[in-house]
């Protein structure tokens, strides 16, 4: 039975991919030989900068010629190598499983099953923030973390993937990272260099505001030492629980990253940024301080609860974030409405090393609990190979801004070109 809904998200398309896998990237098979196909005459009007870009293959492809010489035959889309280094971890494709936020979705059976399937695929996985405060005690939080991590590790192949545990301000007070780093159960991850910690500076759905969940009134009293609660819904059973967003300056961020490096030398260090006006500066500060990766949530991203005003009018779209970050040399990860190949390729061409699946992953598991995420990712992988090879290149890292139209310009207004 379906439990999840995602208004404004291409839910039906994601569910189809979860059911049928790679076949879903093509028109219905029953129309073959009877229907004729072509692009729509009028492009959908949208304010999304990424949606307005087109992927444009060139006529002349010197990299395809080089690949032909390497292979001794004409290359095809299945010759694209999608393997990617993501923030210190190896992944078979440029995709990771995003954090699911602090609602019940982050710890329910959907999240555990998504973890298992992400593990089987070898994708890095981020476990969301507020795990201790949400569940009321360290022992309860350990149980939630253990369920997800155990499911992930049980399916994880050697040499791929990794677990990244996100920490917010409240989690810092609860010493989540210290507990995990010193836990004997975590030793296999440390030994194989597949544990990371992510400092959450902000998020896409409600930048600058902090996390929110709806809690049972009967449990609200136990949360008041760490959270504010508000009776807003005219309900005798439900109230709003809000968390603080945390305070950061350049100096605070540098010190936090250095602290992570010093206190947890065997763990990878990630930093998650909101779609902020100074995102390029913040990312540079994080990388220069020693972060292995910076994750950027576009304003389109998010699986959790947020005020309507923030969902429609606050934060920069992912495409604008990537434009501001253009030319960055650090490992950049991006998320925000990722579910199919064209949006992923555009992000990669604009400088992202990898893209995150959040809502799409949960919807896929909701549709097909045992295989939905695997089917979704297999469809995405086939699409990526076809799109990348159509540009005459054979790795995600070879994608560049000049593979997109309109041309992405540099700060002087000149079209960006690659050598």
Of 163-177, 207-221, 377-391, the range with the highest mean pLDDT is 377-391
pLDDT the model gives residue 32: 87
Whether pLDDT at 183 is above 80? yes
Q: Which residue has the higher pLDDT, 189 or 233?
A: 189
What DSSP letter does each residue of 155-219 carry, written as one string?
A: HPPTT---EEEEE-HHHHHTTHHHHHHH-GGGHHHHHTT-EEEEEE---SSSTTT--EEEEEHHH
SS3 content of the chain, % helix, strand, coil (to 5): 45, 15, 40
Domain that holds residue 147: 82-210+245-383
Name which of 4-8, 34-38, 409-413 the model is least confident about.
Answer: 409-413
**What's the average model confidence in pLDDT over 397-418?**
73
CATH, residue 376? 3.20.20.70
In a domain, 105, yes or no: yes
SS3 259: helix
Give 418's pLDDT tier (boundaries 50, 70, 90).
very low
187, 195 contact by CB (below 8 A): no
In a domain, 46, yes or no: no
In a domain, 250, yes or no: yes
pTM across the whole model: 0.91
How many Å apart are CA 358 and CA 371, to the nearest integer? 16
Whether pLDDT at 390 is above 90? yes
In a domain, 317, yes or no: yes
Give 139's pLDDT tier (boundaries 50, 70, 90).
low
Check whether the bond before 406 is cis (ω within 30° of 0). yes
Left, alpha or beta for 28 (phi > 0: left; psi -120 to 50: alpha)?
beta
pLDDT digits (tens, 9 = 90+) for 348-376: 999 999 999 999 999 999 999 999 999 99
In a domain, 377, yes or no: yes
pLDDT the model gives residue 288: 97
pLDDT the model gives residue 104: 59
In a domain, 110, yes or no: yes
* CB-count exposure of residue 383 (10 Å: 0-12, 13-18, 19+): buried
**What's the average model confidence in pLDDT over 41-48?**
60
In a domain, 225, yes or no: no
Whether pLDDT at 412 is above 70? no
Residue (of 345, 340, 290, 287) closest to 319 by Cα position: 345
How many Å apart are CA 250 and CA 273, to the nearest integer? 13
Whether pLDDT at 134 is above 70? no
SS3 149: helix
* Number of domains making up the chain: 1
Whether pLDDT at 40 is above 90? no
In a domain, 319, yes or no: yes
pLDDT the model gives residue 277: 95
pLDDT the model gives residue 42: 47
pLDDT the model gives residue 213: 77
Q: What angle do CA 288, 291, 295 make, to 5 degrees?
A: 115
Whether pLDDT at 45 is above 80? no
Average pLDDT, the chain: 87
* CB-count exposure of residue 52 (10 Å: 0-12, 13-18, 19+): middle
């Amino acid at each position: 039975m379906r439990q999840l809904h995602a208004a404004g998200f291409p839910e039906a398309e994601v569910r189809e991919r979860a059911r049928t896998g790679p076949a879903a990237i093509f028109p219905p098979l029953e129309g073959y030989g009877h229907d004729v196909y072509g692009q729509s005459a009028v492009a959908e009007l949208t304010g999304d900068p990424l949606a307005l870009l087109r992927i444009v293959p060139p006529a002349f492809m010197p990299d395809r010629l080089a690949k032909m010489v390497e292979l001794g035959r004409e290359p095809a889309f299945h010759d694209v190598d999608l393997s990617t280094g993501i923030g210190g971890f190896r992944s078979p494709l440029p995709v990771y499983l995003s954090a699911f936020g602090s609602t019940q979705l982050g710890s329910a059976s959907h999240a555990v099953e998504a973890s298992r399937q992400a593990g089987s695929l070898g994708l890095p996985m981020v476990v969301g923030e507020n795990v201790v405060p949400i569940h009321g005690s360290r022992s309860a939080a350990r149980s939630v973390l253990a369920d997800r991590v155990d499911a992930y590790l049980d399916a994880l192949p050697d040499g791929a993937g990794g677990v990244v545990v996100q920490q917010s301000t409240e989690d810092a007070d609860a010493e989540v990272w210290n507990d995990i780093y010193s836990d004997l159960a975590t030793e296999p991850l440390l030994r194989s260099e597949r544990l990371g910690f992510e400092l959450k500076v902000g998020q896409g759905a409600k930048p600058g505001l902090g996390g929110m969940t709806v809690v049972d009134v009967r449990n609200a009293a136990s949360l008041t030492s760490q959270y504010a609660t508000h009776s807003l819904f005219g309900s005798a059973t439900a109230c709003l629980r809000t968390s603080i967003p945390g305070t950061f300056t350049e100096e605070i961020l540098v010190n936090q990253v250095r602290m992570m490096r010093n206190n947890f030398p065997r763990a990878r260090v990630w930093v998650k940024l909101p779609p902020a006006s100074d995102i390029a500066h913040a990312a540079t500060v994080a990388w220069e301080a020693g972060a292995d990766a910076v994750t950027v949530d576009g304003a389109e991203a998010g699986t959790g609860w947020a005020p309507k005003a923030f969902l429609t009018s606050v934060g920069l779209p992912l495409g604008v974030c990537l434009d501001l970050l253009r030319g960055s040399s650090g490992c950049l990860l991006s998320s925000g409405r990722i579910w199919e190949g064209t949006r992923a390729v555009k992000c990669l061409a604009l400088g992202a090393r990898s893209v995150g699946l959040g809502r799409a992953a949960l919807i896929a598991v909701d549709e097909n609990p045992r295989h939905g995420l695997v089917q979704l990712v297999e469809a995405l992988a086939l699409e990526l190979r076809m799109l990348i090879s159509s540009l005459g290149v054979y790795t995600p890292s070879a994608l560049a801004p000049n593979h997109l139209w309109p041309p992405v310009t540099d700060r002087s207004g000149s079209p960006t070109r690659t050598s």
